[in-house]
C-alpha cells in the first residue's frame, strides 16, 4: 500500500515529512497563484526527499523556507513535484479522496442528465495526473502519476463510495505513464470484467464503448459539444467523418437527420463499434464504414470526385510535444488541403486537434493555408473546445488541449 493514505506511518505526519525547496531563481508566485507543477530544474531536494519512492509526499517550500503546500514527488520524472494540497499539513487518505471526488461529481451531475462523462480531469479537478471517465455503473481510471498508481485501490474504493459505480477498470497505458517511470497495466480492480461494450448516449446518438480493448478509456467524451455543433450544420445532408474512431461525429450526424455518413478509420474494431452504435440507433442503413489510412482515403475520394455537405477530420495528436510541433503542423495543413476539395460548395469543414503543443493560433493559420492550397476559400464560423467535464486550469495551458475549427467553404 502507498504511504500516502496511512495515518500511522511517519511520512504522513506533517512534522516528519521530507522537504522540497524551490531554487532562489524560481518564482513561488506561480505556485501560490495555482500552477500545479514543479520541474526538476526548479527544485532543491534534501536527502530524505531524494530517498522517497515515486509518489511519496513532501512539503514544498520557497527559497525562504515558507511552505507553499503539500506535493507528491517523483524523482524519475521531469515534473518532480505535483501540488496535492495547498495545506502543507493535509493528510492524503480516503477521506481526502472522497472530498475531491464529491466536488468533481457535483459539477458533472449539475451539467449532465445521464452518468456518461469525464468525472476527473487531473489537475483541473485537484487530482494531479489522474483521469476518470464514467460509463454509467462502470468507471475507467487512468493513473498517469506515480501517487495515483500507488493509490489505485484507495481511489477505486472512494469512487464506489461517492459515485455508486460497481465496476472500476484501471487503464494504465500510454505515453504519460512512461514519462513517470510507470509500467503498463490493464485490469479490473473492482467488480467484474465487462462482457460487452457499454452503450453511451450523447446528443441523441448511441455509442458503444469498449472499456477493456478500446482507445484510451473507450470513448472520447471531450468532443461532445463539437458533435452537437456539427449536428446543427447537417441539414439532412451527407457527412464524411475521417479518423472516426467509434463514429463520434458520424453517429451524431445521423442522430440529427443526416442522409448518410461515411466513417473512415484505420481500426477495424473501432468501426465495428461504430456499426453497432448505428444499429442501436436504428440507423444502419445510413452508415457506411471504410477501414483505411486516412490520407489514402482522402486521396481516393478526391479521385472519385466525391463531395459531402460536411467533412470532419479529427486526427490523433500530430504534435504531442514541442519537438514534434513543426512536423505536426505540416500534417494538419496537409489534412486541410486534402479535405477541402471534398466539401460541397457552401458546405462545412471541421478540423480538430488534440495536440497540446499546437496552440489555437497556429492551428488556425495552418488550417487556413491548407484550405487555400486545396483550392478553396472559406470563413471560420465557430471555434470549439472540450466540454465542461474537461475543465481548463487557467494556469496550465495543457488542460485546454482540444481545438475544433468550423469553416464554411465557398
pLDDT in tens, 110-149: 999 999 999 999 999 999 999 999 999 999 999 999 999 9
Q: In the predicted model, what is the mean pLDDT of residues 66-78? A: 94
Model pTM score: 0.92
Write the CB contacts of 226 (distance below 8 Å, at least 6 apart in sequence): 249, 350, 352, 384, 404
Quick check: 398 pLDDT over 80?
no
Instruction: Write down the catalytic residue from 263, 313, 352, 354.
Output: 354
Distance CA 155, CA 141 (A): 9
Chain segment 45-63, per-residue pLDDT in tens: 878 878 889 999 999 999 9
The percentage of the chain sitting over the pLDDT mark of 70, rounded to a whole number, equals: 96
- Does 354 qualify as catalytic in the annotation? yes
Amino acid at each position: 500500500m502507498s504511504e500516502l493514505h496511512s495515518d500511522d506511518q511517519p511520512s504522513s505526519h506533517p512534522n516528519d515529512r521530507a522537504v522540497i525547496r524551490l531554487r532562489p531563481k524560481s518564482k513561488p508566485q506561480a505556485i501560490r497563484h495555482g500552477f500545479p507543477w514543479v520541474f526538476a530544474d526548479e527544485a532543491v531536494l534534501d536527502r530524505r526527499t531524494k530517498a522517497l519512492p515515486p509518489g511519496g509526499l513532501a512539503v514544498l517550500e520557497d527559497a525562504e523556507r515558507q511552505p507553499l503546500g503539500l506535493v507528491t514527488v517523483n524523482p524519475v520524472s521531469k515534473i518532480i513535484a505535483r501540488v496535492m494540497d495547498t495545506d502543507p499539513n493535509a493528510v492524503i487518505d480516503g477521506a481526502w479522496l472522497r472530498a475531491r471526488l464529491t466536488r468533481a461529481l457535483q459539477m458533472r451531475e449539475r451539467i449532465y442528465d445521464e452518468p456518461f462523462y469525464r468525472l476527473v480531469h487531473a489537475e483541473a479537478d485537484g487530482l494531479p495526473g489522474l483521469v476518470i471517465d464514467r460509463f454509467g455503473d462502470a468507471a475507467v481510471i487512468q493513473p498517469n502519476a506515480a501517487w495515483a498508481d500507488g493509490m489505485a485501490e484507495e481511489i477505486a474504493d472512494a469512487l464506489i463510495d461517492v459515485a455508486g459505480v460497481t465496476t472500476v477498470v484501471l487503464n494504465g497505458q500510454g505515453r504519460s505513464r512512461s514519462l513517470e517511470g510507470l509500467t503498463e497495466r490493464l485490469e479490473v480492480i473492482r467488480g467484474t470484467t465487462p462482457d460487452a461494450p457499454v452503450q453511451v448516449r450523447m446528443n441523441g446518438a448511441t455509442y458503444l464503448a469498449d472499456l477493456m480493448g478500446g482507445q484510451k478509456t473507450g470513448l472520447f467524451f471531450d468532443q461532445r459539444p463539437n458533435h452537437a455543433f456539427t449536428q446543427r450544420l447537417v441539414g439532412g445532408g451527407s457527412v464524411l467523418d475521417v479518423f472516426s474512431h467509434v463514429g463520434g461525429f458520424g453517429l451524431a450526424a445521423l442522430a440529427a437527420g443526416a442522409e448518410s455518413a461515411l466513417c473512415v478509420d484505420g481500426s477495424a474494431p473501432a468501426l465495428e463499434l461504430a456499426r453497432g452504435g448505428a444499429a442501436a440507433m436504428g440507423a444502419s442503413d445510413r452508415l457506411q464504414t471504410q477501414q483505411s489510412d486516412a490520407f489514402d482515403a482522402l486521396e481516393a475520394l478526391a479521385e472519385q470526385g466525391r463531395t459531402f455537405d460536411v467533412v470532419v477530420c479529427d486526427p490523433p495528436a500530430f504534435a504531442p510535444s514541442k519537438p514534434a510541433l513543426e512536423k505536426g503542423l505540416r500534417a494538419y495543413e496537409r489534412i486541410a488541403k486534402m479535405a477541402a476539395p471534398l466539401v460541397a460548395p457552401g458546405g462545412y469543414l471541421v478540423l480538430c486537434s488534440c495536440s497540446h503543443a499546437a496552440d489555437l493560433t497556429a492551428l488556425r493559420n495552418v488550417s487556413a493555408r491548407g484550405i487555400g492550397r486545396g483550392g478553396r476559400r472559406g470563413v471560420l464560423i465557430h471555434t470549439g473546445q472540450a466540454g465542461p467535464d474537461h475543465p481548463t486550469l487557467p494556469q496550465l495551458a495543457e488542460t485546454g488541449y482540444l481545438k475544433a475549427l468550423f469553416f464554411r467553404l465557398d
